[in-house]
Chains A and B, each alone.
Chain A
Amino acid sequence: MFDPLRITSIKEAIDNLSNALAFSEKDGNPVLVNRKMDELYTMLTGHGFENALEVWDTINSNAWVKTHERMAVVRFSDGTIWRFVLTDLQSEHGDYIQIDGTDFTEIYTYTYKIRLNNIKLQEQYKRQRNILTNIVDLNREKEIVSLKMNIHDELGRCLIATDQYLSSGEKEDFTDLKKQWNSAISYLEGMSKEEISSSKQEILDIAALIGCTIEGSGDEPETERSSKLMTAAAREALTNAVRHAHADMISIVSQKKDGYYDVTITDNGTVSFDINCEIMEGEGLKNLRNRLEQEGGSLDILTDETGMTLKIRIPV
C-alpha cells in the first residue's frame, strides 16, 4: 500500500520541477505526470496527458529536430523549445517508461547566436586570408603612391624655382635648375613606361649578361604556377650550365602533353660524365626536385658523354 500523503508530496515535488516529467507503465498508462508535462502536452494537442505511448508518438510527429529515436526536440507555439527523452525504467515493482522534457530555449538561442557569430568569423577569416595573400602587393602600391607624391613635390619645386628665375630678371646660373628639371623629367618618363618585365624575361636578360644564350622552343606554360616552375627550372639549369659545365648556350624544349609540360634542358658545356657514375645532386637541384614533386611534377637527371640533361615534368 502506498502512503497517500507521500504520493501527494511526490506529486507536489515534481510539479515544482522546471522540467516536464511523466512516468507510465509499459502500456502507456500514466503513473505520475507533472504539471509542466501536462501543460506542454495540452499546448501541443489541445487536451491533457492520457497515454505515454500516444504522447511519445505525438512528440515524435511534431519533432523539430530528431537526433535519434528516443530523443526529440519540439518547438511550441509560445516560442519555447523543449527536448524530450524517452527512457525505460526497471524496478522491483515492475517496468516503467519515463518521458523527460527539458527547456532548451536558451540553449537554442545561444546556438543560433553562435551560428551567426560563426558566419561573421568566416567573413573575418576570409578578409584575413585576403590580406595575407595581397599584403605584399598592397604595400607595393603604397610605395608607388609615396614615390608619385615625391615626384609631384619635385615638379612643384622645379616650377617654383623656374618662376623665381624668370621673374628675377637676372641671368643667374641655370645649371642647377636644369639639373633639377632633368631629374624630375626622367622620373616622369619612367612612370609612363609600361611594366613589361616578367620572370622569364629576367632570366633571359641575366643569361645574356653573364654570357650565355637560352634557346627555347615548344609550348610555353600558360598558368602562373607552371610558369613559375619553368622559371625555377631554367634558373637552376642555367646555374649548373655556367658554374659547372662552363656552357654558353642552353636549350629548353617544352612539349604540352597529357596534362603536363615535358621539358628537356641541355647545354653545350664541356663536362662529360661517365655513364655509370651517379651524379651528386647539389642543393639547388635538390630544391628544384622537391618543389616539382610537391606540385605533382618530377625531375630526372640524365648524364652521358655529351653532358647533363634535365628531364622535367611540370603539371599544366
Chain B
Amino acid sequence: MYKVLIVEDSRIARENVENIVSGSEGFELVTSIENAANAELVMLGKQVDLILMDVCTSDNESGLDAAKRIKMKHPDTKIIIMTSMPEYSFIDKAKDAGCESFWYKEYDSVGLEDIMIRTMKGESIYPESTPVVQVGDITSDKLTDRELEIIRLLIAGKKQEEICDILNISKNTIKYHIKNILAKTGYSTTLQLVVDVVDKKLILPNFL
C-alpha cells in the first residue's frame, strides 16, 4: 500500500481528491492538510510515499516551495503537483523542484488515479503545455517566454530600468518587447495588459 498525503486547502476539492485516493487500489490516505508548510511536519512521524500537492495552499504557502524542500530531505517520496491555475511557470518550477508529475485539476484529460499509478511505477507525467487562455486579441501561447518574463516583472512592480538590469538587456530592447506585446494583444497600456494577465491567472503575483 502506498501512503498518500494530500495538501489541498479547498475543502470540497480536498474531499474530491480524498475520494479518488480511497477509491484507488494500492493507495492509502495518511491524512489531508491545507497548508503546504505542514507537510514536512507530517513526514516527521508518518511514512509518506506520495504527496498530492496543491500549489496555492492556505496562508499563501506555496506548494512548489514546500515540494522543493521536501525533495531535498526525502528524495524517495514522490510528489504530484495539482493545480487549476494556468500560470505558465508552474510546470517548470515543479520540474526544477524535482516533482515526479503534474496534474491540471480542470484541464487534464488524464485522470488523477492514472497519474498516481504511473508515477508510483516510476513514470514522470507532465502536461505538454500550460492551458491556453485568451489575453486581449491573442491566446497566451502566442506570447514568447521572453515576453512572459517581462510581463512577470511588470506585475512584480519593476520599473523598465530594473527589468533591464534583471534581464541584462537594453532599455530599447525592453521598449521593443513591450511595444510588440501591446501590438499583439491589442492593449493600449501595460496596466490593461497586466490586469488581464493576472485576471486570467497566467501569472500569479503571490507565487512569483
Q: Could you say which residues of chain B place their CB within 8 Å of the CB of A193?
A: 11
Find B191's partner among A124, A197, A228, A232 (CB 8 Å cutoff).
Answer: A124
Q: Is the CB of B16 within 8 A of A147?
A: yes
Does B117 have its Cβ within 8 Å of any Cβ on chain A? Answer: no
**How far is the CB of A183 from the nearest CB of chain B, in Å?**
7
Q: Is the CB of B60 within 8 A of A136?
A: yes
Contacts of A181-198 to chain B: CB distance below 8 A: 183, 186-187, 190-191, 193, 195, 197
Q: Could you say which residues of chain A place their CB within 8 Å of the CB of B195?
A: 124, 127-128, 131
Does B34 have its Cβ within 8 Å of any Cβ on chain A? Answer: yes
Known interface pairs A136-B60, A183-B19. Does A238 touch B198 (Cβ–Cβ under 8 Å)? no
Q: Is the CB of A242 within 8 A of B11?
A: no
Q: Is the CB of B198 within 8 A of A131?
A: yes
Contact segment of B38-46, B137-145, B161-169: B38-46
Q: How many residues of B contact A (CB 8 A)?
A: 40
Contacts of A243-302 to chain B: CB distance below 8 A: 243
Q: Is the CB of B35 within 8 A of A202?
A: yes
Contacts of B85-106 to chain A: CB distance below 8 A: 85, 105-106
Q: Is the CB of A132 within 8 A of B205?
A: yes
**How far is the CB of B119 from the nearest CB of chain A, in Å?**
22
Q: Could you say which residues of chain B place their CB within 8 Å of the CB of A243?
A: 44
Q: Is the CB of B106 within 8 A of A146?
A: yes
Known interface pairs A132-B205, A136-B56, A144-B12. Does A210 touch B44 (Cβ–Cβ under 8 Å)? yes
Q: Is the CB of A147 within 8 A of B41?
A: no
* Residue of B whose beta carbon sits closest to that of A151: B12
Q: Is the CB of B33 within 8 A of A195?
A: no
* Residue of A whose beta carbon sits closest to that of B8: A143
Classify the interface of chain A: helix, strand, loop or mixed.
Answer: helix
Q: Is the CB of A121 within 8 A of B31?
A: no
**How far is the CB of A27 from the nearest CB of chain B, in Å?**
53
**How far is the CB of B61 from the nearest CB of chain A, in Å?**
10
Chain A, residues 224-236, CB within 8 Å of chain B (1/0): the string is 0000100110010
Q: Could you say which residues of chain A place their CB within 8 Å of the CB of B9?
A: 140
Chain B, residues 136-178, CB within 8 Å of chain A (1/0): the string is 0000000000000000000100000000000000000000000
Q: Is the CB of B191 within 8 A of A231?
A: no
**How far is the CB of B67 from the nearest CB of chain A, in Å?**
16
Q: Is the CB of A235 within 8 A of B85?
A: no
* Residue of A whose beta carbon sits closest to that of B13: A143
Q: Could you say which residues of chain B place their CB within 8 Å of the CB of A211?
A: 45
Q: Is the CB of A209 within 8 A of B31?
A: yes
| Residue of B10, B84, B105 ringed by the most chain A CB atoms within 10 A | B10
Q: Is the CB of B198 within 8 A of A125?
A: no
**How far is the CB of B9 from the nearest CB of chain A, in Å?**
7
Does A11 have its Cβ within 8 Å of any Cβ on chain B? Answer: no
Question: What's the Cα separation between A278 and B58 when bound, in Å?
Answer: 35
Does B201 have its Cβ within 8 Å of any Cβ on chain A? Answer: yes
Chain B, residues 45-81, CB within 8 Å of chain A (1/0): the string is 1100000000010111000000000000000000000
Contacts of A206-224 to chain B: CB distance below 8 A: 206, 209-212
Question: What's the Cα separation between A3 and B205 when bound, in Å?
Answer: 75
* Residue of A whose beta carbon sits closest to that of B44: A242
Q: Could you say which residues of chain B place their CB within 8 Å of the CB of A232?
A: 37
**How far is the CB of A266 from the nearest CB of chain B, in Å?**
18
Find B206's partner among A136, A197, A228 (CB 8 Å cutoff).
Answer: A136
Q: Is the CB of B58 within 8 A of A139?
A: no
A-B contact pairs, 10 of them (CB 8 A): A131-B195, A135-B204, A135-B206, A136-B60, A147-B13, A187-B15, A206-B33, A209-B45, A238-B41, A239-B44
The 8 closest A-B pairs by CB, nearest first: A210-B45, A132-B205, A190-B15, A136-B56, A128-B195, A147-B12, A140-B10, A242-B44
Apart from the given pairs A135-B201, A203-B41, A242-B45, 16 other A-B contacts in the complex at a CB distance below 8 Å: A125-B191, A127-B195, A128-B195, A128-B198, A135-B198, A139-B56, A147-B12, A147-B13, A183-B19, A202-B33, A206-B38, A206-B41, A209-B46, A232-B37, A242-B44, A243-B44
